Amino acid sequence: MKYKEGKSLADHLNEIQGIVDQLSGMGIKMEDEVVALLVLASLPESWETLKISLTNSAKDGVINMEIVKSGVLNEEMRKRSQGASSSSSQSDLLTVDSRSKGRSEARGSKQRGKSRGKSNKFANILCHHCKEKGHIRRFCPKFRNERKKGKRDENSDDDGANSVDEFNIVYEEDVVNLTTQETSWVVDSGATIHVTSKRDFFSSYTPGDFGVVRMGNGNLSKVIGKGEVCLETMNGTKLLLKDVRHVPEMRLNLISVDKLDEEGYCNTFHNGQWKLTRGSLVLAKGKKLSKLYVTEAKISPEIVNSAENGDTIELWHKRLGHMSEKSMAKLAQKKVIVGLDHVHLKKCVDCLAGKQNRVAFKSSIPSRAKNVLDLVHSDLCEPDVNVKSLGGARYFVTFIDDHSRKTWVYTLKTKDQALDVFKQFLALVERETGKKLKCIRIDNGGEYKGPFATFCKEHGIRQQFTPPKTPQLNGLAKRMNRTLLERVRCLLSHSKLPQSFWGEALLAAFYVWNRSPSVPLKYDSPEKVWTGKEVSYKHLRVFGCKAFVHIPKDERSKLDSKTRPCVFIGYGQNEFGYRFFDPIQKKLIRSRDAVFIENETIEDVVARKEVPSTDASQPSLGLVPPTPALTEVGEEAQHDQPEIVEQDAHVEVQPEDADDDGQPPAIEGSPVQMTRFGRVTRRSSRYPETEYVSLTDGGEPESFTEAMNDEHKQRWIEAMQDEMDSLYENKTFELVKLPKGKRALKNKWVFKIKHDEHNRQPRLKARLVVKGFSQRKGIDFDEIFSPVVKMTSIRTVLGLAASLNLEVEQMDVKTAFLHGDLEEEIYMEQQEGFKKEKKEDYVCRLRKSLYGLKQAPRQWYKKFESVMGEQGYMKTTSDHCVFVKKFPDGDFIILLLYVDDMLIAGQNVSKINDLKKELSKSFAMKDLGPAKQILGVRIVRDRGVKKIWLSQEKYIEKVLQRFNMDNAKAVSCPLANHFTLTSKQSPSTEKEKAEMDKIPYASAVGSLMYAMVCTRPDIAHAVGVVSRFLSKPGKEHWEAVKWILRYLRGSSKMSLCFGDGEPVLVGYTDADMAGDVDSMRSTSGYLITLSGGAIS
């Protein structure tokens, strides 16, 4: 590619860089020195002097693109200045002189001075800075070096700009005839700052003297301010330009490519088009006009989103639930929030609406309890007699620890639920602290009498009742209720949400309160005093703000939008993630994949439209979807309201300390229960509105307490009773006194909603699981190893079945681990909710294994092995999970066992059925009929042609989606020849190691290895190569892994076929020659086939 005189050199460099980027995308990486030499080689003969000068001036004889780019661009400017026409005096823009660091150095260097010496332009000119001839101050090396260090020469008087920063403007002849509008922005790859002349363009502005710029006509123009400009590009995307300089005399608006690059954007120049991207999102586009790239963008008055906002004081005031100025000032002093410095709040209308009250009387600060749980304050409050929460709650109760001031809040439908939530609170705090609650201070409310008082007496908890009509003595709880209600009013006022959202606002308010500075704690937060850990504020967002929540791939088609507008209504409950409300579909969503627009509310999500409601206690949200289309089935058809369901949106499990990484931590307390709401046309005759409550994660409770608060509470109780009945029937345990020196393992309930293939009435399943992680080797268990069938055995049997036309049936063992007999003496606590009366201090002596025990798999295998031995089956020596029996008439049956999944192959159907009956006598079995899938491997059979196909198409698709390679370009080979992987490509610096730590290299290799082991022997060599670098993978190794994924992308439907040959073993083997570059060792491989398909 040759450069033609007269063409823009910047365009020529961009074209070369575009080609280099394309080659890099193909896996062909070019060294920087090679690219620099290619640029020099593309220049004509008239540039020969410059090429020699740049080559000779290269440090250590190695030239790079930074030197070449700055040198050739300076030479282009010199040539233009020599031949400039009189129109040059009319130019008043356009690019900042210091296009890059390397370019500035080259312009002021001795070598650069020599290359321009022939013109004698500055031969007799005296530099005002160093007092030497041959150059002006702009190109003075001494001045450049001092400027880098931040020094300013007080004695210099160059153009009267000695005390301010000077940004020199380079003449660009094409701007003279460029016709633009106010919405036009010139994109310059050499500028180091953004510039505009329009004061009203700025969304945030700081006036001041920020230096001068030298225009193309030689005049100086002052920079009178700087700030941020928010642009809305032609495709509707918002782009925030930071550190934009305000120069009133500037004729055009200027965008700096270098600035965008520093902020993580990607600029692409190709075929006269400019494109700005971040990841896969295209933010802006432009086109070349008169040798300049121009984009059109109008000014957006709003800030882009929380990720790109300056963290203003007002924004943090809203994020922190309208925290007081004094508390925010304390957070600013501790520097726990980035960008929060000098706090001075303006008058907040929402704070006045929620908090304004009479002037307080003087009061003294009461003393605090010495330790946590020495004293807890509690009070019950009814926010509004006429307004229920979304879950039908009318009341809430607070519990405040006097020492740490940490608060727990629970919503109640009726006052008599106070005892139930107190039991939950008591179990939670005593488990967290290991201490017992000593005293609770309460008023004389009836909810604290009767059963509540009896419970406290039984557990040794002292009750402090305040005297009648003296609420001041329970002032801490009363003041907390007032504080929370004030914040709830503030949040509802700002978010424009209906009052029925008071429950969600309450949970958000007390969550922030626990993380707010407290005067009695010397401005520490209750959460910090309670846990002893620093509190993170990175995850906080403005309650009720607009948010775009990512829609998982399995919930949308390829043409559907990938996001949905929602309203942020709080933080996850006992889990990680945020909670959102979808006003269009009227459902609750929990997700961590969201982008927040914190200065917009629900009014910006959909147009508010008042809908008449006949129920004053359930005010309508006032939101109507544009095209409501509801479908109901059976008796549910009479309900006109759409069902509200809570669903996960790609929720990831995080470690307990994720709070330090900016992830929203779990919320203590009872979740707000949700119910149906929205348009009301007629009442259901089957269920009252109060029955549609207790939304949980996908409908599956995560604890016994959550199940008891669920709308299907009775059905969950029945499911747990069924589990207990099966345990009693199986004689799994017996109640005994815990012997001295022994300890009892804990347990938990695991709940599951199971749907059939027709999605009819779901079945609720509860399973009791032992917390086996607390078992001790040599005491609670010895051997835990349990074999499973090898994939080689599965493929061998299926190959035989294809050639010999054998029957292949599949069975599943129900509650397999419960059948194993225990050899150790193990005790377990009684099940939550099923403790025997008058035997509460007894424990369960386990006679048979339970799910969760470390030895449960081994005990199950030993039991199954003994049963198969009684039936005359022998296990093979090569695979102990392959059981074979040969009958006198020559028939045989082969059984394969993988934990509780079985494949049975045989010639005679009746004999297979006899085996099924015998197994059903010993275990609870489920007959699945002809085998269709095992371990994620799909089995397709055509008995007419005696063939069986094995494939993992669904598994591969999930792997591709997991690593964001489902839309990657497919390739035709598992590993291309240009990959030469060595240990030298591993990270060598801490920065490189930190970057690779973020890449799931081992997880990706493991996923590939499972596909290789099951059905894809074609990737065995490639996976073996990349697995050599699991300990220290580098970028090149990761590129190879992605290449294998791209290969699977194009061959996901490929299957392993059996039946194309005789059932005879055929082996192949080969080896390369010193294929391992690091050790120079050879790698050998083998392949064994049976019935035409690979088995090993």
The residues that are catalytic are: 188
Backbone phi and psi for residue 201, each to the nearest 5 degrees, phi listed first: -75, -20
Candidates 736, 245, 333, 776; CA nearest to 524 is: 333
Say how far apart CA 583 and CA 589 lie, in whole Å: 11
**Which residues touch 163 (CB under 8 Å, ≥6 apart)?**
152, 154
Query: In the numeric block, which tokens belong to residue 1009?
Result: 């290895």
Query: In the numeric block, which tokens belong to residue 840?
Result: 């509460």
Per the listing, tokens 């993630």 go with: 577
Using H for helix, E for strand and C for coil, what is the string for 139-173? HCHHHHHHHHCCCCCCCCCHHHCCCCCEEEEEECH
Say how far apart CA 568 and CA 542 lie, in whole Å: 8
Say how far apart CA 350 and CA 311 lie, in whole Å: 20
Q: Cα Rg for the chain, rounded, in angstroms? A: 37
Backbone phi and psi for residue 331, each to the nearest 5 degrees, phi listed first: -65, -35
Say how far apart CA 666 and CA 664 lie, in whole Å: 7
DSSP 770-788: E-GGG--BTTTBS------
Say how far apart CA 1082 and CA 1093 lie, in whole Å: 27
Say how far apart CA 511 and CA 659 lie, in whole Å: 13
Q: What is the enclosing helix (H) or strand (E) of 597? A: strand 594-597
DSSP 312-375: -HHHHHHHTTS--HHHHHHHHHHT-STT--S--PPPPHHHHHHH--PPPPP-PPPPPPSSTTS-
Q: Could you give the strand order of the β-sheet that contains 947-951, starting from the edge strand earlier in sequence?
A: 933-934, 937-942, 947-951, 1056-1058
3-state class percentages of the chain: helix first, strand second, coil last, to nearest 5: 35, 20, 45
Say how far apart CA 334 and CA 925 lie, in whole Å: 63
Candidates 670, 389, 710; CA nearest to 510 is: 670
Instruction: Say if CB 723 and CB 805 are below 8 A apart.
Output: no
Cα–Cα–Cα angle for 85, 87, 90, nearest 5°? 145
DSSP 822-847: P-S--EEPPPTT-PPTT-TT-EEEES
CB neighbours of residue 921 within 10 Å: 8
Query: In the numeric block, which tokens belong to residue 376?
Result: 């807890």
- Length of the chain in residues, anyone? 1096
| Cα-to-chain-centroid distance, residue 736 | 47
CB neighbours of residue 479 within 10 Å: 14
Pairing relation of β-strands 439-442 and 376-381?
parallel
**Which residues touch 965 (CB under 8 Å, ≥6 apart)?**
1042, 1045, 1046, 1049
DSSP 404-471: T--EEEEEESSGGGHHHHHHHHHHHHHHHHS----EEEE-S-GGGSTHHHHHHHHTTPEEEEPPTT-G
Pairing relation of β-strands 212-214 and 94-96?
unpaired
Candidates 588, 583, 505, 578; CA nearest to 540 is: 578
Candidates 516, 112, 465, 44; CA nearest to 322 is: 516
3-state DSSP assignment of residue 905? strand
Say how far apart CA 277 and CA 21 lie, in whole Å: 15
